[in-house]
Amino acid sequence: MVTGASRGLGRAIALALAAAGADVVLAARSKADLEETARRAAGTGRRALVAPTDVAVYAEVEALMARAVRELGRLDVVVNNSGVARVKPFAEMSPDDWRFMVDVNLTGVFHGCRAAAPHLIAQRAGKVINVASVLGQVGLPGYTVYAATKGGVIALTRTLGVEWARHGIQVNAIAPGWFATDMTDPAFSDPKINEQTLFLDGGHSAA
Protein backbone atom coordinates (compact mmCIF):
# COMPACT_ATOMS: atom_id res chain seq x y z
CA MET A 1 0.00 0.00 0.00
CA VAL A 2 1.49 3.30 -1.11
CA THR A 3 0.04 6.71 -0.28
CA GLY A 4 0.76 9.63 -2.56
CA ALA A 5 0.98 7.13 -5.41
CA SER A 6 -0.56 9.47 -7.96
CA ARG A 7 2.73 11.09 -8.99
CA GLY A 8 6.36 11.78 -8.11
CA LEU A 9 8.16 9.56 -5.65
CA GLY A 10 4.98 7.76 -4.65
CA ARG A 11 4.34 6.66 -8.21
CA ALA A 12 7.97 5.58 -8.61
CA ILE A 13 7.84 3.57 -5.37
CA ALA A 14 4.57 1.88 -6.35
CA LEU A 15 5.89 0.93 -9.79
CA ALA A 16 9.12 -0.40 -8.30
CA LEU A 17 7.17 -2.56 -5.83
CA ALA A 18 5.00 -3.90 -8.66
CA ALA A 19 8.11 -4.65 -10.74
CA ALA A 20 9.52 -6.54 -7.75
CA GLY A 21 6.43 -8.78 -7.70
CA ALA A 22 4.04 -7.04 -5.31
CA ASP A 23 0.35 -6.39 -5.80
CA VAL A 24 -0.17 -2.74 -4.95
CA VAL A 25 -2.89 -0.55 -3.48
CA LEU A 26 -2.54 2.99 -4.79
CA ALA A 27 -3.81 5.79 -2.57
CA ALA A 28 -4.00 9.56 -3.10
CA ARG A 29 -6.66 12.20 -3.64
CA SER A 30 -6.47 12.32 -7.45
CA LYS A 31 -8.31 9.34 -8.97
CA ALA A 32 -7.25 10.18 -12.54
CA ASP A 33 -3.55 10.25 -11.63
CA LEU A 34 -3.91 7.04 -9.62
CA GLU A 35 -5.44 5.35 -12.65
CA GLU A 36 -2.40 6.35 -14.69
CA THR A 37 -0.13 4.79 -12.07
CA ALA A 38 -2.30 1.65 -12.15
CA ARG A 39 -2.07 1.53 -15.95
CA ARG A 40 1.71 1.58 -15.74
CA ALA A 41 1.77 -1.01 -12.97
CA ALA A 42 -0.41 -3.32 -15.03
CA GLY A 43 2.52 -3.82 -17.37
CA THR A 44 4.27 -5.83 -14.65
CA GLY A 45 1.42 -8.33 -14.49
CA ARG A 46 0.59 -7.47 -10.88
CA ARG A 47 -2.74 -6.26 -9.49
CA ALA A 48 -3.06 -2.54 -8.86
CA LEU A 49 -6.05 -1.26 -6.88
CA VAL A 50 -6.99 2.40 -7.19
CA ALA A 51 -8.14 3.79 -3.84
CA PRO A 52 -8.81 7.55 -3.71
CA THR A 53 -7.99 8.53 -0.13
CA ASP A 54 -7.40 11.67 1.91
CA VAL A 55 -4.70 10.64 4.40
CA ALA A 56 -5.72 13.51 6.69
CA VAL A 57 -9.03 11.72 7.38
CA TYR A 58 -8.56 8.67 9.62
CA ALA A 59 -11.78 6.92 8.57
CA GLU A 60 -10.65 6.97 4.94
CA VAL A 61 -7.23 5.51 5.80
CA GLU A 62 -8.82 2.85 7.99
CA ALA A 63 -11.10 1.88 5.08
CA LEU A 64 -8.07 1.81 2.79
CA MET A 65 -6.24 -0.73 4.96
CA ALA A 66 -9.35 -2.87 5.32
CA ARG A 67 -9.83 -2.91 1.56
CA ALA A 68 -6.21 -3.92 0.97
CA VAL A 69 -6.58 -6.91 3.30
CA ARG A 70 -10.02 -7.82 1.94
CA GLU A 71 -9.06 -7.75 -1.74
CA LEU A 72 -5.42 -8.83 -1.65
CA GLY A 73 -5.46 -11.17 1.34
CA ARG A 74 -2.94 -9.45 3.62
CA LEU A 75 -0.92 -6.31 4.17
CA ASP A 76 2.84 -6.76 3.85
CA VAL A 77 4.29 -3.31 3.14
CA VAL A 78 2.89 0.11 4.03
CA VAL A 79 4.55 3.16 2.47
CA ASN A 80 3.39 6.43 4.03
CA ASN A 81 4.56 8.82 1.34
CA SER A 82 1.90 11.53 0.94
CA GLY A 83 3.35 14.98 1.44
CA VAL A 84 2.64 18.65 0.76
CA ALA A 85 4.70 21.83 1.08
CA ARG A 86 4.15 25.56 1.23
CA VAL A 87 7.36 27.55 1.01
CA LYS A 88 7.53 31.04 2.49
CA PRO A 89 9.26 32.89 5.34
CA PHE A 90 8.13 31.72 8.76
CA ALA A 91 6.78 35.18 9.65
CA GLU A 92 4.38 34.85 6.70
CA MET A 93 3.15 31.37 7.62
CA SER A 94 -0.46 31.23 8.78
CA PRO A 95 -2.13 28.78 11.14
CA ASP A 96 -3.85 27.38 8.03
CA ASP A 97 -0.43 26.73 6.44
CA TRP A 98 0.63 24.91 9.61
CA ARG A 99 -2.49 22.75 9.73
CA PHE A 100 -2.34 21.99 6.00
CA MET A 101 1.19 20.54 6.21
CA VAL A 102 0.86 18.89 9.61
CA ASP A 103 -2.44 17.21 8.66
CA VAL A 104 -0.93 15.52 5.61
CA ASN A 105 2.78 15.13 6.36
CA LEU A 106 2.65 14.09 10.01
CA THR A 107 -0.93 13.22 10.95
CA GLY A 108 -1.22 11.33 7.65
CA VAL A 109 1.72 9.13 8.70
CA PHE A 110 0.13 8.56 12.11
CA HIS A 111 -3.11 7.56 10.39
CA GLY A 112 -1.29 5.14 8.08
CA CYS A 113 0.60 3.46 10.91
CA ARG A 114 -2.38 3.36 13.27
CA ALA A 115 -4.81 1.99 10.68
CA ALA A 116 -2.31 -0.69 9.66
CA ALA A 117 -1.54 -1.64 13.27
CA PRO A 118 -4.25 -4.28 13.91
CA HIS A 119 -3.52 -6.06 10.61
CA LEU A 120 0.27 -6.10 10.99
CA ILE A 121 0.24 -7.01 14.68
CA ALA A 122 -2.23 -9.85 14.10
CA GLN A 123 -0.05 -11.43 11.42
CA ARG A 124 3.16 -10.66 13.39
CA ALA A 125 4.92 -9.47 10.25
CA GLY A 126 5.13 -6.48 8.00
CA LYS A 127 7.19 -3.50 6.96
CA VAL A 128 6.33 0.18 7.34
CA ILE A 129 8.28 2.78 5.37
CA ASN A 130 7.66 6.42 6.24
CA VAL A 131 8.94 9.03 3.82
CA ALA A 132 10.60 11.85 5.73
CA SER A 133 13.14 14.32 4.31
CA VAL A 134 16.67 15.53 4.84
CA LEU A 135 14.96 18.75 5.88
CA GLY A 136 13.91 16.93 9.04
CA GLN A 137 17.54 17.30 10.08
CA VAL A 138 18.97 20.17 7.99
CA GLY A 139 17.65 23.72 8.00
CA LEU A 140 16.65 25.62 4.85
CA PRO A 141 14.91 29.03 4.95
CA GLY A 142 11.28 28.97 3.89
CA TYR A 143 10.77 25.34 4.93
CA THR A 144 10.29 25.73 8.69
CA VAL A 145 6.85 24.11 8.95
CA TYR A 146 7.60 21.45 6.34
CA ALA A 147 10.83 20.60 8.17
CA ALA A 148 8.98 20.38 11.49
CA THR A 149 6.58 17.81 10.04
CA LYS A 150 9.41 15.74 8.61
CA GLY A 151 11.35 15.87 11.86
CA GLY A 152 8.21 14.56 13.52
CA VAL A 153 8.05 11.69 11.04
CA ILE A 154 11.64 10.74 11.89
CA ALA A 155 10.94 10.77 15.64
CA LEU A 156 7.68 8.83 15.26
CA THR A 157 9.42 6.22 13.12
CA ARG A 158 12.35 5.77 15.47
CA THR A 159 10.10 5.16 18.47
CA LEU A 160 7.54 3.00 16.67
CA GLY A 161 10.32 0.82 15.30
CA VAL A 162 11.40 0.01 18.86
CA GLU A 163 7.81 -0.53 20.02
CA TRP A 164 6.81 -2.84 17.17
CA ALA A 165 10.00 -4.90 16.98
CA ARG A 166 8.49 -7.44 19.38
CA HIS A 167 5.66 -7.98 16.88
CA GLY A 168 8.05 -8.80 14.04
CA ILE A 169 7.25 -5.51 12.28
CA GLN A 170 10.03 -3.37 10.81
CA VAL A 171 9.45 0.39 10.81
CA ASN A 172 11.89 2.60 8.90
CA ALA A 173 12.03 6.07 7.42
CA ILE A 174 13.81 7.29 4.33
CA ALA A 175 14.90 10.92 4.13
CA PRO A 176 15.44 11.70 0.45
CA GLY A 177 17.10 14.76 -1.02
CA TRP A 178 15.94 16.73 -4.05
CA PHE A 179 14.07 14.88 -6.80
CA ALA A 180 12.37 16.46 -9.77
CA THR A 181 8.66 16.11 -8.97
CA ASP A 182 5.57 18.28 -9.25
CA MET A 183 6.03 19.34 -5.63
CA THR A 184 9.66 20.45 -6.11
CA ASP A 185 9.16 22.21 -9.46
CA PRO A 186 8.66 25.64 -7.81
CA ALA A 187 11.88 25.20 -5.86
CA PHE A 188 13.88 24.15 -8.91
CA SER A 189 12.61 27.23 -10.76
CA ASP A 190 13.77 29.58 -7.96
CA PRO A 191 17.47 30.51 -8.45
CA LYS A 192 17.90 31.37 -4.76
CA ILE A 193 16.63 28.00 -3.58
CA ASN A 194 18.73 26.24 -6.21
CA GLU A 195 21.81 28.04 -4.88
CA GLN A 196 20.98 27.06 -1.31
CA THR A 197 20.48 23.39 -2.16
CA LEU A 198 23.77 23.28 -4.09
CA PHE A 199 25.47 24.66 -0.99
CA LEU A 200 23.83 22.01 1.17
CA ASP A 201 25.00 19.31 -1.25
CA GLY A 202 28.48 19.85 0.14
CA GLY A 203 27.37 17.63 3.01
CA HIS A 204 23.64 17.08 2.67
CA SER A 205 20.98 17.65 0.09
CA ALA A 206 17.48 18.76 0.89
CA ALA A 207 13.92 17.81 -0.04
Please give the positions annotated as active site: 146
- Do 149 and 97 form a contact (C-beta atoms < 8 A)? no
Gap between the Cα atoms of 110 and 190, Å rounded: 32
Q: What would the 3-class secondary structure string for 99-155 be?
A: HHHHHHHHHHHHHHHHHHHHHHHHHCCEEEEEECCHHHCCCCCCCHHHHHHHHHHHH
Cα–Cα distance for residue pair 167/106, rounded to 1 Å: 23
End-to-end CA distance of the chain: 23
Q: Write out the H or E segment, with its range, that includes residue 37.
A: helix 31-42
Q: Dmax over Cα atoms in the chain, in whole Å?
A: 50
- Is the CB of residue 54 less than 8 Å from the CB of residue 82? no
